[in-house]
């Protein structure tokens, strides 16, 4: 797609999705303002390495990149960045991630995912942002077992505080869309994987243990399915939403309300692969790509987890022609190659 020379603010710019998104936007010629607090939820070395990669790409691309080590929980510092650079588009990916971590550290989720997101919304209002895209999560479907997950389904039964904060984000964004005419799109991400991924997620944990010949923990005795989605497909979907802000649903029926659209300029979309894979199949492919067999340690279901996820992405396809193109077999090979190179195996 051609550059539109816009100023786009990306929070969580040192994160897995944020860094990859920044790179692709810079390649298009966009001016990207990154914001990340570089916290120690996992090793900041990986975050800094991602930022170094973004910097390198910006040196040979038509776009520009400036990154600020700031926390979205501090509204005064955030507002200074908005005031100076006047972004027309904001992509909010900053959040305290992780389902299991939310059981032990709930306050971190309240501060980042609720207080921090409220600051983002208020900055978007104060500085007349034209398009907000924010990260929701497939975890909002919680106790729902009606597959595939569709945006029209109820998400009122979260099974983790992390999921509850993401559902809250959708409600908060909708109120700002209604009250202040802020176009906002919430994207429910489904199990993103690929090079430069988060160390607390299954692919990284599995790869580390397999290569060190240590047991891998497989929960629910391996009876899990996930809608694994490759990072480049996710980024492509986000960029397409940057190019098409949310609009009102002119045929919205208030007597039979559709949870994914509104009388306000607010939309919610699943963004996934629409092809759930058994966890044991994922492990088998990872073993093949790494050239090592896993030592399997089967465990019972963990609190906050769900047995399966499967996305329906029909609405996102209709909105921006989103069609994931990366086969799981190819994505795992790319991930395994990067992992061995980056960690020196």
* Residues carrying an active site annotation: 162
- Closest listed residue to residue 278, CA positions, set 308, 299, 311, 233: 308
Cα dist from 207 to 123, 130, 273, 327, whole Å: 40, 41, 22, 19
Estimate the share of the chain in helix, then strand, then coil, as percent rounded to the nearest 5: 45, 15, 40
- Closest listed residue to residue 33, CA positions, set 63, 75, 3, 61: 63
Q: What CA–CA distance (Å, rounded) separates 252 from 260? A: 10
Asked if residue 222 lies in contact with residue 280, where contact means CB atoms within 8 angstroms, the answer is yes
- Closest listed residue to residue 65, CA positions, set 54, 74, 76: 54
Question: SS3 letters for 80-135?
Answer: HHHHHHCCCEEEECCCCCCCCHHHHCHHHHHHHHHHHHHHHHHHHHHCCCCEEEEE
Q: What CA–CA distance (Å, rounded) separates 345 from 338? A: 10
Asked if residue 41 lies in contact with residue 96, where contact means CB atoms within 8 angstroms, the answer is yes
Q: Tell me the pairing of strands 64-68 and 192-193.
A: unpaired
């Amino acid at each position: 797609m051609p550059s539109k020379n816009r100023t786009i603010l990306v929070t969580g710019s040192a994160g897995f999705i944020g860094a990859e998104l920044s790179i692709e936007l810079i390649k298009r010629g966009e001016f990207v303002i990154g914001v990340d607090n570089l916290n120690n939820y996992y090793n900041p070395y990986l975050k800094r390495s991602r930022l170094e990669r973004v910097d390198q790409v910006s040196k040979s691309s038509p776009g520009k990149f400036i990154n600020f080590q700031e926390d979205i929980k501090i509204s005064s510092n955030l507002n200074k960045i908005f005031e100076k650079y006047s972004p027309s588009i904001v992509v909010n990916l900053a959040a305290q991630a992780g389902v299991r971590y939310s059981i032990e550290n709930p306050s971190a989720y309240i501060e980042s995912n609720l207080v921090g997101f409220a600051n983002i919304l208020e900055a978007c209002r104060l500085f007349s942002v034209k398009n907000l895209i924010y990260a929701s999560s497939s975890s909002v479907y919680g106790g729902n077992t009606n597959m595939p997950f569709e945006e029209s389904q109820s998400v009122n039964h979260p099974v983790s505080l992390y999921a509850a904060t993401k559902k809250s984000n959708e409600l908060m964004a909708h109120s700002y869309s209604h009250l202040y005419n802020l176009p906002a799109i919430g994207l429910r991400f489904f199990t993103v994987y690929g090079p430069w991924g988060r160390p607390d997620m299954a692919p990284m944990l599995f790869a580390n243990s397999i290569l060190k010949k240590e047991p891998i923990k497989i929960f629910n005795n391996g009876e899990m399915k996930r809608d694994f989605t490759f990072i480049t497909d996710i980024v492509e979907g986000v960029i397409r939403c940057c190019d098409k802000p949310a609009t009102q649903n002119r045929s919205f029926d208030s007597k039979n309300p559709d949870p994914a659209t509104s009388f306000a300029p607010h939309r919610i979309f699943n963004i996934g692969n629409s092809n759930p894979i058994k966890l044991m199949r994922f492990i088998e492919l990872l073993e093949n790509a790494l050239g090592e067999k896993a030592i399997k340690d089967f465990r019972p279901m963990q609190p906050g987890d769900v047995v399966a996820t499967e996305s329906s992405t029909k609405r996102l396809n209709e909105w921006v022609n989103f069609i994931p193109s990366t086969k799981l077999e190819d994505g795992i090979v790319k991930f395994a190659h990067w992992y061995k190179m980056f960690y020196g195996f």
